[in-house]
Structure formats: structure tokens, C-alpha cells
Amino acid sequence: MTRLLLIDDEERFARALAVSLRARGYDVEVASTGEAGLEAAARLHPDATVLDLGLPGMSGLDVLRKLREWSTAPVIVLSARHEETTKVQALDIGADDYVTKPFGMDELLARLRAALRRGAATGPDSVVTTDHFTIDTAATRVTIDGGDVHLTKTEWKLLEVLVKNRGKLVSQRRLLHEVWGPGYDDETEYLRVYMAALRRKLEPEPSRPRYLRTETGMGYRFDA
């Protein structure tokens, strides 16, 4: 049985969510503070954690930082709709995904399943094959129907970061930092230009991207 840790201080909400998750076969432990959540995480070593960012006392971001000091298990953060800056911070610290309150149970379950699949992998495969192209990160090569696709050095670096985090939302700030460097954290126009170029080269319908997905104001996601 998959073990989940839910850290949320809203008692009625946490209780209802735990009941719903247990009904779907998950083993759920609930903690109402950041400190209690960290203690439970150290004791249980959960397969995944669902973490509310708006905790009293120790903030959700601080809890996430502490978890990432020793745990690589998936973390999905919950946040209020107006906390966009905080969500970006959480992604930069190491959250695997986020869900905005209020949310549908089906959405949370889908994101949870995807995070658990990624967490179960021993590491990213060097070859990723889609219905339209193949990426070999070890060989630094992209092919379509057996023919090489020419990518610039920057296009490749951007694609490589997304592929190595496939299925996971990568924040704009993190992409800019990893591809261009720490002095480019606010140059979001660079991302728009280079993502458009990658889509023209790889997507079957660049105007309706299937693989290189945008989450407006947040970042990008590679779905294979």
C-alpha cells in the first residue's frame, strides 16, 4: 500500500482529504503543523507528501527545504490561488508539482500518480521516445524518422533540462538559471523565443504543443 503524508493545518479539509485518499487505497498519515510533519516524515519515510504551503509557524516552504535535505520522495504542494510567487519558490526548492485550492479530487489523484511514477524510477533513461521524435540525452541527439534534428546549443540545454524532469513542472526561474545562468532569472522572453523554436522543430502542431507544455506564469513541462 502506498504511504502518503498529508501536512495541512485545516482540520476539516485534511480529514476529508485523508478519507478520500484512504478510500482509494492509500495509507495516509496526517500532520497539522510543519514540525509534526517533519517528525512523521522521518519516522514513516512516506512514498509521497502532500504539503500545504500556508502552514502556521514553520512555513510550508521551510518544511520543503528540510525534507529536501534528506528525502527525494515526491512532494505535491497545495496553495491558495493568489500565492503564485510562493508556488514558484516551492518548485525552485524541489516540489514535484502543485495543486491550487480549491481543486478536484481527480486532478490531485492524477498529479499524485504521475509524481509516484517518477519517484519509482531509478533515474531518467538516456533515450526518450515519443510518437514523433526520439531524444538521446547521452548522445546529445534528437531524431525524427531516423534523421537528425539540428538544435542550437541553447535549444539543446533547454530541452535537456525539461527531459530530465519529464512530467514535472519546471519553473521559469529554474530554467533561466540552469540554461543561461544566475544573471538571467528575469529574462522570461528568452524562454518564449527558444520554446517557440523547439516547438517548430519537434512538435507536430507547434501552435498546439503536445510535448513541450506551458503553464502560464509558472513554467514549462515536458510530457512524453
pLDDT of amino acid 87 = 82
pLDDT of amino acid 218 = 85
* Residue 140 dihedral angles phi and psi, to the nearest 5°: 55, 55
pLDDT of amino acid 17 = 96
Separation CA 40–CA 203 (nearest Å): 44
Residues 6+ apart with CB under 8 A from 12: none
Q: Which residue stretches of the chain have pLDDT < 70?
A: 81-83, 119-125
187 and 157 assigned to the same domain: yes
Separation CA 164–CA 171 (nearest Å): 14
Separation CA 223–CA 215 (nearest Å): 12
pLDDT of amino acid 81 = 66
115 and 183 assigned to the same domain: no
182 and 200 assigned to the same domain: yes
Separation CA 18–CA 110 (nearest Å): 16
Q: What residue type is assigned to position 83 of the chain?
A: E
Separation CA 108–CA 21 (nearest Å): 10
34 and 65 assigned to the same domain: yes
Separation CA 84–CA 202 (nearest Å): 30
Separation CA 36–CA 126 (nearest Å): 39
Long-range contacts from 36-45, C-beta under 8 angstroms, 24+ separation:
36/7, 37/5, 37/7, 37/63, 38/63, 38/66, 38/67, 40/5, 40/7, 41/5, 41/67, 41/71, 44/3, 44/5, 45/3, 45/71, 45/73
* Kind of pairing between the strands at 48-52 and 97-101: unpaired
Tens of pLDDT, residue by residue over 116-170, are 887 665 445 678 999 999 999 888 899 999 899 999 999 999 999 899 888 888 8
52 and 146 assigned to the same domain: no
Name the domain count of the chain: 2
- Range of 136's domain? 127-222
Q: Which CATH number fits the domain that encloses residue 176?
A: 1.10.10.10
165 and 180 assigned to the same domain: yes
98 and 163 assigned to the same domain: no
152 and 185 assigned to the same domain: yes
103 and 136 assigned to the same domain: no
Q: Which CATH number fits the domain that encloses residue 80?
A: 3.40.50.2300
Residue pair 87/25 in contact (Cβ under 8 Å)? The answer is no
113 and 162 assigned to the same domain: no
pLDDT of amino acid 119 = 63
98 and 173 assigned to the same domain: no
116 and 131 assigned to the same domain: no
Domain boundary among 66, 88, 120: 120
Domain boundary among 89, 120, 151: 120
